[in-house]
Amino acid sequence: MTKDLEQIFTNSQKKVIDAFSKIESSKKAKITFDKWKRPEGGGGQTFVIESGAFFGIKHFVDIGFVNANVSAGKGGLWQRK
């Protein structure tokens, strides 16, 4: 189930990135994409578009996944194990 949710969010991020890329017409726009991993588990992807005709300042489309063991603690709050 976790992998299914990651895929749903990753696909949603891709749709936003594709839409942003179509909106930005300037060839001078700086676009970066970075995949990263957490040593503790998980990771994510960061997309940045800036210095363009439409997106003049930095705009981020970021997604991150954290893998951790958690349990319901006192008062129903989730806590790390």
> How many independent structural domains does the chain possess?
1
Which runs of consecutive H residues, i.e. helices, occur in 1-81? 2-23
Structure tokens at 23: 């909106």
User: Which residues form the domain of 11?
Assistant: 2-80
Handedness of CA 51, 52, 57, 63 (dihedral sign): negative
Q: Which of 79, 58, 77, 76 is nearest to 68 (CA)?
A: 79
Mean pLDDT of 52-61: 91
Q: Give the tens place of pLDDT for each residue, 57-72.
A: 899 999 988 877 766 6
- Whether pTM exceeds 0.85: no
Look-up of token digits 């603690």: 73
Q: Give the tens place of pLDDT for each residue, 10-51.
A: 999 999 999 999 999 888 999 999 999 988 888 999 999 999
